[in-house]
Structure 1
Amino acid sequence: MNQSKWIILTIIIACQLIVVLDASIMVTAIPQIGRSLHMTATSLTWVQNAYILPFGGFLLLGARAGDLLGRRRMLSVGIGLFSLTSMLAGLAPTAEFLLVSRAFQGFAAALATPAALALLSASFVEAKERAKAIAMYSAVSAGGGSVGLLLGGFFTDFISWRVGMFINVPIGIALLFLVQRFIQKTGTKTGRFDLWGAIASVIGMTALVYGFVQAADRGWGEPETWISLAAGIVLLAAFVLIESRVAEPIIPLRLFASRQRSGAYLGRFLMVCGNFSLFFFIPQYMQNVLGSSSLEAGLAFLPFTVAQFGMMYLIPGLVQRYGNRKVLMSGLLLSIIGTLWLSRIVSVQAQFFPQMFILLTVMGIGAGMVFQPLTVLGLSDVDPQDNGAASGLINVAHQSGSSLGLAILISVFDAAIRTDQPSKMHFAHAISSSILGSVVFITAALVVTLLCFLPARQSIRKQASMGS
């Protein structure tokens, strides 16, 4: 890989890192944000979801914009808007101002992220270089959340949670300069934006998440809960109908014609549903049950982060020797074992070292083996004109899994706590139940892998008859 390609890869990874960091950098700061802006426990979940929902919902529109207006241009626009809205979020005087700023941050991230991944696909076409580049990109995408926890904890304890937003501004300015200097201008083409499809998908997913959050806050019997959930389902069904009829959809349904690609998208969604939620619940457990500081809660994910990033260097060799499918299934099994064991030891008496340390390391190794194969399989055999849409769909699966998984498991947490004044024992039990819910999601991802990635029975029989 020559120097110019290393610079391009560094720009793309740095862009991906800042947008992924912002999905988790607020988690360890949630208690302080609640006190400083007078936010309730339920409204604090929207500090996360206000960012994640527009991020996931507008990714496909962002990918389409990159195809039509030029990927370098949309990368620059996304980074510039992200830097501006980050500054506004850091300056937020009220809860409402913070949530609106976070929503626009998510929209900006949705413009930049698919352009970055599409530029990676176009810049690295040789097999070994492409495998290495995707491995590094996947490691950052998956491990950036835990880095965000660490940075957020440090800033919260020693300076202010607002610094986690302000830090994006100088990084964004530097990236804007580097993009213009080192990334070549990409072509544009004529076409239409599928605006109605984008609106239906964003509002539909938001309604679903809102319904689950309301279920946790007010209960499943409230009309508001069921109306929101029903509206979400209807709007997402309308989105599929729109995509099947519109001339230039933001999701060409032909991308799902491949069982392998469909499995990669669904498997990623389910894995993130379970995996990302841990970034929310474990820091809350560390702070509210074990009495850790914000920084200590962030440091708790260090073994996970180190293990996951360490796998970045091993994955290309493992994939070359064993193939994407075996590496993927092995990683999912490790993730299930580590997460299930963790759910059993969470209690008031638990200690971080050695059990939680070891289990988080195992979970980091597992996660490090999952996302790179899923990225490769999600981009496999895609026509050049669909590169942007496929890249966007990978990120949609990731961000949608983050928001919906967290919303569902918050409902599990609330159902398990069963009291208005929870003790540490109640809180630990509820966290344990939520982590067990993560196991269910990751297990579902393994089932999808087995159904979609193993050879079909007819192919196996054909191979056996040819061998005989």
Structure 2
Amino acid sequence: MSAPHRPAARWWALGVLSLVELIVTLDVTIVTIALPQAQAELGLSDGHRQWIVTAYALTFGALLLLGGRVADYWGRKRAFMLGMVGFGAASAWGGLAQSGTELIAARGFQGLFAALLAPAALAMLTVTFTHGRERNIAFAVFGTIAGSGAAVGLVLGGVLTEFASWRWCLLVNVVFVVAGLIGGKLHLTESKAEGDNRYDIWGTLTVTLGLGALVYGFTLAEAGWGRSDTIGFLALGVVLLAVFVRIQTRVAEPLLPLRVLLHPVRGGAFLVQAVVGSIMIGSMLYLTFHFQIVMGMSPLMSGLANVSMTAVIMFLVPLVTKILNTYGPRPLMIVGPLFSAAGLFHLAGITPEGSYLNQVLPALVLLGIGLSMLFIPLQNLALTGVEPQDAGVASATVNSTFHIGGSIGLALFTVLYHSTMESSLHSGNAQSAAYTDGYSATFIASAIAMIAASLISALLIRGTKSELMPQYEEEDTVVPAA
């Protein structure tokens, strides 16, 4: 079926689809603010605490490509409606969870249904607004909401946790889902992709189980890298991912065609995006803990304290867009991670007695400057030299690598945090000093990862501006920010 033709119907559809993008984006961060309360109420250890974030990010990232294919072949509106129902049910389950295991499982199911929702929403946006000024406006609105979703999640999570309960950080999704279902029923029309509709089930299973085993193995490393279970799960993850690569070379309709990954520019962009994900989902979680556990901030103040970085990013987006159009993505991709690294090194200097204005705010400003240089170029670089039939999977891979990088990064940073904190305690330091020592170690590791991202950009992202940037018609296409 075709997209809605009446102008009013199209704009109502944009509102519904933008609401969905806001839900799946803010759910990465909304629970972050609530973690200290949820951990205390459910009796979670620090090691298990991270899985409340990881379960969502890992399933979302690992299943995003399959979700896009399901939406294209089964029907985008149908996938959208099922995804909304499933996401709402998983959110209600998580909000009512009576144990850490229940909450982690619910977050995993949230990620599963988000992986169906997100690509369905973007695909319907694409077929609803096909060209011209309206398309530019629609993608600008959609991209702005995607870019601001993390900040909305932090503030909303702070408000709900402080004035209601951490459980409402999940239960509030039910309200959004009801609005989305009503809007979807009234204003969205069905559409499907033409052609073969075979699914790469074995590829999906091997990559999902492989990534899960790898992340779980890193989690077990907290008790020792030489333990048999640690080595076993890490080895299993590597083997399953190797099998996944093998499958992608042999099936007719691979989940992730290797030609998308093996292009040096795109491969470099995906690696940088994985590093960015590890910072945004992984190490920045510990800044929230520093605010609440060490500095004694309320959940609301903690959420507001985090927003300064997002505000810098949003403020600089127009300037970064002009620089991108003038000089191309390569300078931004090299310099941006260095700004971020400087901010993270500054953040590593936190102390129990330090103030937000001196120790944190300058770091968040530097991080905002650096990340603003990365978000927009990354979307463009994902489509460099890509064949038309691979454009969707290449764009989705950017989002997948962000969440997968966040999952792996969080597991590794958790191990580093615990080992550093335990060492500090054994040295006779106070609990608050041990906490900040652990947080500082994660920020130093994050800064080193950002320097590595700059080197990756310098080595792999080569070419002139016209070679690196897809040739979009100015009036017809706008690529939304990550």
Residue 423 (structure 1) aligned with residue 439 (structure 2): no
Q: How many residues align?
A: 454
Deviation per residue, 1:307-352 (Å, 9 max, x gap): 1222344443332233233333343232122222222x21122100
Deviation per residue, 1:283-318 (Å, 9 max, x gap): 111122222222222121121121122234444333
Q: Which moved more, 1:313-322 or 1:296-305?
A: 313-322
The one-letter amino acid of 2:382's match is G
159, 163, 172: which one pairs with 1:167?
A: 172
| Residues 67, 376 of structure 1: alpha-carbon distance in 2 compared, 3 angstrom cutoff | same
Report the counterpart of residue 362 of structure 1 in structure 2.
Answer: 366
- For 2:183 and 2:326, locate their aligned partners in 1 and report how far apart those are by CA, in whole Å: 36
SS at match of 2:248: helix
Deviation per residue, 1:126-163 (Å, 9 max, x gap): 59877776666555445533432222222111110111
- For 2:345 and 2:132, locate their aligned partners in 1 and report how far apart those are by CA, in whole Å: 36
SS at match of 2:345: helix
Matches within 5 A, 1:36-75: 36-75=41-80
Say whether the 8 Å CA contact 1:149–1:279 is kept in structure 2. Answer: no
| Residues 310, 56 of structure 1: alpha-carbon distance in 2 compared, 3 angstrom cutoff | same
Report the counterpart of residue 202 of structure 1 in structure 2.
Answer: 208
| Residues 258, 117 of structure 1: alpha-carbon distance in 2 compared, 3 angstrom cutoff | farther
Report the counterpart of residue 453 of structure 2 in structure 1.
Answer: 445
Say whether the 8 Å CA contact 1:269–1:401 is kept in structure 2. Answer: yes
The one-letter amino acid of 1:68's match is Y
| Residues 318, 79 of structure 1: alpha-carbon distance in 2 compared, 3 angstrom cutoff | farther
Say whether the 8 Å CA contact 1:70–1:185 is kept in structure 2. Answer: yes
Alpha-carbon deviation of 1:37?
Answer: 1.6
Deviation per residue, 1:100-127 (Å, 9 max, x gap): 2111111001111122333445556659
Say whether the 8 Å CA contact 1:153–1:298 is kept in structure 2. Answer: yes
| Residues 94, 355 of structure 1: alpha-carbon distance in 2 compared, 3 angstrom cutoff | closer
Residue 178 (structure 1) aligned with residue 183 (structure 2): yes
Alpha-carbon deviation of 1:398?
Answer: 1.2
Q: Which moved more, 1:149-158 or 1:326-335?
A: 326-335
Report the TM-score, using the length of structure 1 for normalisation.
0.89
SS at match of 1:26: helix
| Residues 338, 10 of structure 1: alpha-carbon distance in 2 compared, 3 angstrom cutoff | farther
- For 1:449 and 1:261, locate their aligned partners in 2 and report how far apart those are by CA, in whole Å: 10
411, 416, 425: which one pairs with 1:412?
A: 416
- For 1:6 and 1:241, locate their aligned partners in 2 and report how far apart those are by CA, in whole Å: 44
265, 270, 274: which one pairs with 2:275?
A: 270
SS at match of 1:454: coil
- For 1:369 and 1:128, locate their aligned partners in 2 and report how far apart those are by CA, in whole Å: 25
- For 1:180 and 1:407, locate their aligned partners in 2 and report how far apart those are by CA, in whole Å: 40
- For 2:185 and 2:216, locate their aligned partners in 1 and report how far apart those are by CA, in whole Å: 39
| Residues 279, 157 of structure 1: alpha-carbon distance in 2 compared, 3 angstrom cutoff | same
Say whether the 8 Å CA contact 1:417–1:429 is kept in structure 2. Answer: yes
- For 1:121 and 1:448, locate their aligned partners in 2 and report how far apart those are by CA, in whole Å: 32
Report the counterpart of residue 477 of structure 2 in structure 1.
Answer: none
Alpha-carbon deviation of 1:438?
Answer: 1.0
| Residues 231, 134 of structure 1: alpha-carbon distance in 2 compared, 3 angstrom cutoff | farther
Say whether the 8 Å CA contact 1:8–1:183 is kept in structure 2. Answer: yes
SS at match of 1:301: helix
Report the counterpart of residue 480 of structure 2 in structure 1.
Answer: none
Say whether the 8 Å CA contact 2:36–2:289 is kept in structure 1. Answer: no
- For 2:264 and 2:299, locate their aligned partners in 1 and report how far apart those are by CA, in whole Å: 43
Say whether the 8 Å CA contact 2:198–2:253 is kept in structure 1. Answer: yes
Residue 284 (structure 1) aligned with residue 273 (structure 2): no
The one-letter amino acid of 1:449's match is S
| Residues 121, 447 of structure 1: alpha-carbon distance in 2 compared, 3 angstrom cutoff | farther
The one-letter amino acid of 1:229's match is L
Say whether the 8 Å CA contact 1:286–1:297 is kept in structure 2. Answer: yes
- For 2:367 and 2:269, locate their aligned partners in 1 and report how far apart those are by CA, in whole Å: 20
Report the counterpart of residue 443 of structure 2 in structure 1.
Answer: 435
Matches within 5 A, 1:69-468: 69-122=74-127, 137=142, 140-141=145-146, 143-189=148-194, 190-216=196-222, 218-343=223-348, 345-419=349-423, 423-455=431-463
Say whether the 8 Å CA contact 1:243–1:249 is kept in structure 2. Answer: yes
| Residues 200, 207 of structure 1: alpha-carbon distance in 2 compared, 3 angstrom cutoff | same
The one-letter amino acid of 2:421's match is I
Alpha-carbon deviation of 1:437?
Answer: 1.0
Alpha-carbon deviation of 1:364?
Answer: 1.7
| Residues 114, 447 of structure 1: alpha-carbon distance in 2 compared, 3 angstrom cutoff | farther
- For 1:224 and 1:340, locate their aligned partners in 2 and report how far apart those are by CA, in whole Å: 34
For structure 1, the residue ranges without an aligned partner over 5 or more in a row are 460-468
Say whether the 8 Å CA contact 1:34–1:40 is kept in structure 2. Answer: yes
Deviation per residue, 1:361-416 (Å, 9 max, x gap): 22123222211210122134433433332232122111101111111111111221
The one-letter amino acid of 2:334's match is M
| Residues 339, 149 of structure 1: alpha-carbon distance in 2 compared, 3 angstrom cutoff | same
Q: Which moved more, 1:116-125 or 1:247-256?
A: 116-125
| Residues 14, 445 of structure 1: alpha-carbon distance in 2 compared, 3 angstrom cutoff | farther
Say whether the 8 Å CA contact 1:157–1:294 is kept in structure 2. Answer: yes
- For 2:138 and 2:415, locate their aligned partners in 1 and report how far apart those are by CA, in whole Å: 38
- For 1:372 and 1:136, locate their aligned partners in 2 and report how far apart those are by CA, in whole Å: 15
The one-letter amino acid of 2:362's match is I
Say whether the 8 Å CA contact 2:321–2:376 is kept in structure 1. Answer: no
Alpha-carbon deviation of 1:38?
Answer: 2.0
Matches within 5 A, 1:16-55: 16-55=21-60
| Residues 119, 332 of structure 1: alpha-carbon distance in 2 compared, 3 angstrom cutoff | farther
Deviation per residue, 1:184-208 (Å, 9 max, x gap): 4212444211111111111111111
Percentage of matched positions with identical amino acids: 34
Report the TM-score, using the length of structure 2 for normalisation.
0.87
Q: Which moved more, 1:95-104 or 1:170-179?
A: 170-179
